[in-house]
Structure formats: structure tokens, C-alpha cells
Chain A
Amino acid sequence: MQKQVDAARERRVSLTLGLLHAFGDDDLDKAQECLDTFAQENGLSQEQEDVVVFRVMIAIQRGRALDALHLMNDFGEDFHPELRALSLFFLRDPLWRGLATELAENSPHENVRVGMTNLLNQRLPSDEEMAAASAA
């Protein structure tokens, strides 16, 4: 049983780090492949919350923030509002700032408060940057 347990963890470590590094390399097809494999091997549906988090990030990084918002619609407004703020940011929807401010001040999670504070210090992406992200 020990080996079975270890092998399962090794595989999860491998695929998760593969996913993270693919993100870092901007190799989004590979990131999607790692995510799909992880979900399949662990019996997770594509709608499982943590899987959706990465699907949303892949959509945002592909320049498809609107698709990212659609992915989150099934979960209601409480589902990772920080990701919603980020999607609105890349859509340059003015609502992003109010949501990010609210989270930066009142989120019970420190990582979200810090993350949103940092986001508030960013400049909105330019037209050229948006076009480049969508074309990539």
C-alpha cells in the first residue's frame, strides 16, 4: 500500500509542476494537457472547482477573458471573486476596480488581499497588448 500511496503522490506532483511550468513557459496547450491528464487520472470533472481555476487562468492567458467569465458563471458570485476581478481587468470593464478594492480591503484570505492590492497597482492593458494576447 505504501508504494501505491507514494506513486499517486508522485504523479500528482509531476503533473502539477508540469502544469505550473507550462504556464511559466506560456505553453498553454501543454498546460491544458497536464490539467486534463491530472483531472482524468484523479477522477475530477472539468467542472471541479480547482480544475476550473486553472481553466480560467488558461483562458485569461490566451486573451479570452470573456470566456473565463463564462466558465465561472455556473458557480455564482462567490466563486473566486479575485479571478472575476482579474477577468474584468483584462476586459477593461470598470467594475474590476470596485471588486478588487472590496477584496483588497475585506477578503478573509491574506493571499487574496495582497494579490488584489497588487492588481490595483497595475496599469490597465493597452489596446495593443489586448490585441497581441488575443492573437497569440
Chain B
Amino acid sequence: MTALKHAFEKIGEGIADAFKGLGKDIAGAFKVIGGALTGNPNLMKSGAEEFESGLKEEVSGIAEVADGAVDATLAASPLGAALMAVIGPSAQKFIDGVFTGAANLVNGGISGVVSVASGIATGNLSEIGKGLEGVASVATLFVPGAGEAEMGVDAVEVAVNAGKSLIQNSAESQAESTVGV
């Protein structure tokens, strides 16, 4: 298992190097990792705050870093073959929030839209808000790679505008039907 440990350390070094190249500090990222591992909410919060310095979107290319790390250590680790073949790409998908065959996420998105429609139908504003949040969340998960934040916001805005449009259409048809009566 020593070789695998070495491979993962290399991944960490690769990430650190990537950050250094950007002139940014990796410390916040590793504190967040520590928080995730220990379940220490204070540590997690501290790391997250340091992430606010602007390095958060830059942790990408994990799969490529993993591949490079494994090349050097595979001679001693059969598991390294799997690390290279599947774990790197799967880890990248996890970080990007783009999952293979994610029917459940698509369903989550549909649920969000349904909640919006349901909120419009019932006039329940909190339900509308809840629905939009669901759509936003799913839109976020499907946005790949670097620049996600900006693209995600675009997607969310599209979702929100779609919701507004639905509300407007609903209100217009309500008015028409009232006039009709």
C-alpha cells in the first residue's frame, strides 16, 4: 500500500504545484480536506473561509495529476492501474459535479421544476423558492470544469428566468380566464 500512499501524496503535491503556479495558497484547501476527514466543523469553516481568497475554482485537472502520479509508482502497485484507469477520471467527475448516468440528478431537476409549477399553481411563494433552489442546485452540478461559477450562475439565471416566465404566463392565463368569466 506504500505505493498507493505515495501516489496520493503525489496528487496532493500536484495540486499544490498547480496552486503555486497560479500564485495562490493551497493551505485553505488542505484545511477543508482535514475538516472533511475529521468531521471538525470549525476546521472545515476555517478552510472554507480561506477558500474565499479566490482559489476555490482552480482545483481541477485532478485526473491528469493522478495519472502522472501513478506512472511513477505503478511498478509497485497493481491498484495503481485502477487508480489511473478509473479513479482519476471518477474523482474529476465528482469535483466537477458531472456524474455518469446521473438519472437521479435529472430527476432532481425535474422535481425542482415541478415544485416551481406547483408553487405557481397554489400561489405558495415558499414552494416557488424551494423549487428554484432545486433547479439551481442541479444546474450547478452539471456545470463542468473551470469557470464553473460563472457558467453555473448563467444556468441558474436561466432557471430563474424560466421560473419568472412561468409565473408571468400563469398570471396572464389566470387574468384571461378571469376576464373570460
Contact = CB atoms under 8 A, between A and B. Distances in A.
Interface secondary structure of B, over-half rule:
helix
B44 A14 contact: yes
Interface string A88-124: 0110000000000000000001011011101101100
Contacts of B91: 16, 19-20
Interface in A46-79: 48-50, 53-54, 57, 60-61
Report the interface size class on chain A. Answer: 35 or more
A10 B156 contact: no
Interface stretch (B77-85, B116-124, B163-171, B172-180): B77-85
Contact of A30 (B37, B81, B94): B37
B37 A21 contact: yes
A89 B80 CA distance: 13
Contact of B32 (A10, A23, A34, A83): A10
B129 interface: no
A25 B5 contact: yes
Contacts of B114: none
B86 to A, nearest CB: 5
Contact of B11 (A20, A22, A38): A20
A28 B55 CA distance: 29
A74 to B, nearest CB: 12
A6 B149 CA distance: 6
Given A112-B85, A115-B82, 18 more contacts: A1-B157, A4-B140, A12-B95, A14-B35, A16-B95, A17-B12, A19-B94, A20-B11, A24-B4, A24-B7, A24-B9, A48-B99, A50-B100, A54-B87, A54-B90, A86-B81, A114-B85, A118-B74
